[in-house]
Structure 1
Amino acid sequence: MLPLYALLLAPLFLAPAFAQEPVVMEAASDEGTFLVRVEWTPADLGAGNTFALLFIEPETGKVVEDIAYDFVVTSESGGEISDRRSQTLAAQQVSFPEEGSYTIRVANIEGLGEDAEFSVRVTPEFAPALVAAAGIAVAVFVARFRFGL
């Protein structure tokens, strides 16, 4: 009986970690001086979501490095989640406190007063481990019912 339970529980411990696929968004700045590309890697509520930023010169298509910008995140109610001024980092981390719609604003790009905005919808992630655990629970129930274990 113990080997059967060990066999049923093995997938829970051997399952690979599933990474959320990144979401790529692009927007031109207000005056069209920059094309801003944001690659959002979603995470669970309260965990760090990664926003990787690229600034592209639209005429040449070349990436422009060391661009200063403000990174502002607001909720759909207008509440400010993050307000980071004079950033030059290629990525930002943001923890969303709850499910909902948020606006990501890359502002005052290179001190020119140009902005680019992105809308994201944050939803809770359904952890693959929970799905595996539910599957195992059903398998155990079926095994007990069918084989009298």
Structure 2
Amino acid sequence: VFSDYYATGKLDVDLAEKVIKGILDGCEQSGCNLIGGETAEMPGFYAEGEYDLGGFAMGVVDKDKLINGKNIVEGDILIGLPSNGVHSNGFSLVRRVLDKSGLSLTDQFPGNDGKTTTVGETLMTPTIIYVKQVSLYR
């Protein structure tokens, strides 16, 4: 299951609807149900048009199916999946790199497909949801 938290200074219903639709799309991709969430208006805390978004996922696994490293043996196969960009915890480093490098979000950035985009557009690329690639049950 997944639950979200959306906070803003003044609720823009159209923007919030787009954000929630994105969350629903992610839940659908991962076979997860959006069970609820919270929307908070916090006047004076956020600049106009800004919002903060958070969420958490919770799941259940049978204890004997947990992957914890204790059952890894010689001959097991390790599969690596390519990342499509920076993921959640990487943004602290990105902010530091942008600050130290002098790059701006509007600077051009080469894409993996040979096309150029801006640094900002590259950073806003949605994260791939890897559930289908790693699920043992699909």
Q: TM-score range by the shorter chain?
A: under 0.3
More strand by share: 1
Task: Give me the TM-score of the superposition, normalised by structure 2.
Answer: 0.23
Larger-Rg structure: 1
More helix by share: 2
Task: Give me the TM-score of the superposition, normalised by structure 1.
Answer: 0.22
